[in-house]
Structure 1
Amino acid sequence: MNPYDADTHPGPYLVVEVLGVGDVSVHALAHGPEEPLHQAATRVIEAAAALDERHESVLNAVQRAQRLLEGVGRGEVGRSQVSYALLRTALPDLGDGLAQQDRAYSQLVESLSAYRRLLSSPEPAQHTSNKSHGQGQKTRPHRDDDWAVAGERGLVALESVAAGGVRFRRNAIGEDPYISREKAQWQDPAIFPQTVQRLVADGLLHQDITENVYRPGQLLSLTAQGEAALRDGRATTSRVSAALGRTTTRTTSGALSDPAAVPVARTSLATPRSR
């Protein structure tokens, strides 16, 4: 479900509809500033905000014009003459506002297209290592779409599909693919359509092609192989977390048992660092 209202926030609403994210933020569209997607995501967010601003200006101009015409609607001749005089300046302002809103919309569409082209390009693979769908399954070397399942992207997609309500869809304008989620939350990380396509190709996800790809979209589900990959990914993540916990415990206990560490601890307690 789209968390934005198209009547008040048309920019973020369009971004969610096209990209299938739960929130319009750099964190939702790109995982880190070092990624090529970061600049493209920033341009998308700025364009969405610009469209909202232009939309609000148009609404204000329309409301001013409506107030000027109130007297005409009630048959007040004297006031209608004043209203017509004022409308001669208000209507051109409204026309300018609509033109600016149209340009802002076109800019957002261009930014979204550039972002999706970057998603489809193999270049992001050069900035990420070839890792597993979850954590424990190796990808085939030198595939152009290895970036789509690098890091936690594959595991995030598998977990989201396991939760239910994830669909593969295409935009009726341009045929661009995107992912929609019935239970999307603003803090949810983005699921790239290329990630889903890779997981489907690798036999980890099933895509119900009997459903309309435009609306409601083709429901995704885990295959037996996908369920095994998800269990393996979660187990690996748990082992890493446990290992980090043991390391932290040993470091802390070692520091407390070391006499030389005691003065340092007292000093740090006396002058705590601000966070």
Structure 2
Amino acid sequence: MNPHNPLTHPGAHLVHERLGVGDAGELSGRHPYPSPLAHLASVVASCARDVDRLHRDLTERARTVIERLEPIARGDHASMRGVNGIIQSAGLQVELLTARRGATYEQLDKVLSAYERGAETDPPTATARRGASTTPRTPTAPRPRPTSEHNPPPPPGTTSRVPPGPR
């Protein structure tokens, strides 16, 4: 069962329907970090959040318009002589939010399709985790600390981690 309500979180709902994950952010943890699938997974999560945010913004704006129009719908507008711009630019804002939400939903659908195609050819490994790399790491020497005349490097052989400074 999908834990996300399509009326409040359509992006998260679609991700769960297509991929079966409760949180789109978990997808990137299924693949080694520098891989293309890890990148696609992060794009899926970002698109899902954008769809949900735009849906919330659209819903809130539509509620505002409805609240402004309710008195007129009830016939309670006889005393509104001389009032101009009852919904002002809210109608245009609703149109723009609707278009942006639709475009972002389409983008999410396309990114999900790309992720599904990639996952078919390269299924996630059980041990993949964020930050894992397929190339072996070699030990590196610690980076030298920047020096200045107020912060000279510690003398060789000292174990103090606190640099001497002006007192």
TM tier, shorter chain? 0.5 to 0.7
Give the structure, 1 or 2, with the largest relative contact order (CA under 8 Å, sep 6 or more). 2
The CA distance in 2 between the partners of 1:80 and 1:120, in whole Å, is 64
Structure 2 gap ranges (5+):
128-167
The CA distance in 2 between the partners of 1:114 and 1:70, in whole Å, is 44
Q: Determine the structure 1 residue equivalent to 2:131.
A: none
Structure 1 gap ranges (5+):
125-147, 154-275
The CA distance in 1 between the partners of 2:110 and 2:62, in whole Å, is 27
- The answer as to whether partners of 1:40 and 1:111 remain within 8 angstroms in 2 is yes
The CA distance in 1 between the partners of 2:6 and 2:81, in whole Å, is 34
Structure 1 SS opposite 2:35: coil
Structure 1 SS opposite 2:24: coil
- The answer as to whether partners of 1:71 and 1:80 remain within 8 angstroms in 2 is no
After TM superposition, the structure 1 = structure 2 runs for residues 127-142 of structure 1, keeping only pairs within 5 Å, are none
User: Alignment identity in percent?
Assistant: 30
Q: Determine the structure 1 residue equivalent to 2:23.
A: 23
Q: Determine the structure 2 residue equivalent to 1:216.
A: none
Assess, with a 3 A threshold, how the Cα gap between structure 1 residues 66 and 119 changes in structure 2: closer, same or farther: same
Assess, with a 3 A threshold, how the Cα gap between structure 1 residues 41 and 27 changes in structure 2: closer, same or farther: closer
Structure 2 SS opposite 1:86: coil
Higher strand share: 1
Q: Determine the structure 2 residue equivalent to 1:172.
A: none
**TM-score (norm. length: structure 2):** 0.66
- The answer as to whether partners of 2:27 and 2:42 remain within 8 angstroms in 1 is no
After TM superposition, the structure 1 = structure 2 runs for residues 78-157 of structure 1, keeping only pairs within 5 Å, are 78-79=79-80, 82=83, 85-121=85-121, 124=122, 148=123, 151-152=125-126
The CA distance in 2 between the partners of 1:15 and 1:87, in whole Å, is 35
Assess, with a 3 A threshold, how the Cα gap between structure 1 residues 80 and 45 changes in structure 2: closer, same or farther: farther
- The answer as to whether partners of 1:71 and 1:79 remain within 8 angstroms in 2 is no
Q: Which string of whole-angstrom CA distances, capped at 9 and with x for unpartnered residues, describes residues 229-252 of structure 1?
A: xxxxxxxxxxxxxxxxxxxxxxxx
Assess, with a 3 A threshold, how the Cα gap between structure 1 residues 94 and 36 changes in structure 2: closer, same or farther: same
- The answer as to whether partners of 1:69 and 1:80 remain within 8 angstroms in 2 is no
Q: In the TM superposition, what is the alpha-carbon distance from 1:27 to its structure 2 partner?
A: 4.5
Q: Determine the structure 2 residue equivalent to 1:68.
A: 68
The CA distance in 1 between the partners of 2:32 and 2:81, in whole Å, is 58
The CA distance in 1 between the partners of 2:81 and 2:71, in whole Å, is 5
- The answer as to whether partners of 1:54 and 1:101 remain within 8 angstroms in 2 is yes
Q: In the TM superposition, what is the alpha-carbon distance from 1:53 to its structure 2 partner?
A: 0.9
Q: In the TM superposition, what is the alpha-carbon distance from 1:81 to its structure 2 partner?
A: 6.8
Code of the aligned partner of 2:50: A
Q: Which string of whole-angstrom CA distances, capped at 9 and with x for unpartnered residues, describes residues 160-212 of structure 1?
A: xxxxxxxxxxxxxxxxxxxxxxxxxxxxxxxxxxxxxxxxxxxxxxxxxxxxx
Q: Determine the structure 2 residue equivalent to 1:262.
A: none
